[in-house]
Structure 1
Amino acid sequence: MTQKRSNPQRPHAWCVYIIRASDDRLYTGITTDLEKRWRAHDGGRGGAKFFRGRRPAHLCFVETGHDRSSASRREATIKRMTRRQKLQLIAASATPVPLNGD
């Protein structure tokens, strides 16, 4: 059995993000390519089912420095938070680089 090896030049390529949707709801996800993921959510092809009937409006939160496992754990932790806790997390974070012209 062959094991997949992580790329030693990109050991922490995963990030956790929160997007505010057009209806003001919050979506949390993980990715290795934020711009590509944003386009997928915005275009409806390959994006999350969450964005059917709503559009991504603003990238509110980005946390980098994760591997796949830690990003998945952090995503699960954030998804268990209340909306108020998520808004507090967003407020406490540094402003991310916008992908949508904000």
Structure 2
Amino acid sequence: MKIYYVYIVKCSDNSYYTGFTNDLERRINEHNDGFNPESYTYTRKPVELVFYHEFNDATQAISFEKQIKGWSRKKKEAIINDNWDLLPMLSKNRMKD
């Protein structure tokens, strides 16, 4: 069975990048090797893996990646710190902004 990963890396400028892959180690190395000057992480190396979640279904992984990409920094940091229970509160607070 193939495994897919949704991951977050912290870039050298302290921003976060969220991605999807089926080979986590290779993908993180690609970010740090910087082959594509057009990519977000190219000028923000090195990157550090701060979160990943495994999926058995590529469609679910892609859906979760898209969801995270729409999240605030605080929500991303909540899952990075394994504080999933904070997500509903952070969603409510964002609606008040």
Change (3 A) 1:74 1:47: farther
Number of aligned pairs? 83
Question: Taking every aligned residue pair, what percent have the same amino acid on both sides?
Answer: 33
* TM-score normalized by the length of structure 2: 0.77
Which runs of 4 or more aligned residues in structure 1 lie more than 6 Å from their structure 2 counterparts after TM superposition? none
* TM-score normalized by the length of structure 1: 0.73
| Matching residue of 1:73 | 63
Contiguous gaps of at least 5 residues in structure 2:
84-97
Contiguous gaps of at least 5 residues in structure 1:
1-9, 94-102
Q: Which amino acid aligns with 1:63?
A: H
2:31 to 29, 34, 41: 41
> How far apart, in 1, do the equivalents of 2:51 and 2:37 lie?
18
| Matching residue of 1:24 | 14
Structure with the higher helix share, 1 or 2: 2
Cα offset, 1:47, TM superposition: 8.4
- Once the two structures are overlaid, the 10-residue window that deviates more, 76-85 or 65-74, is 65-74
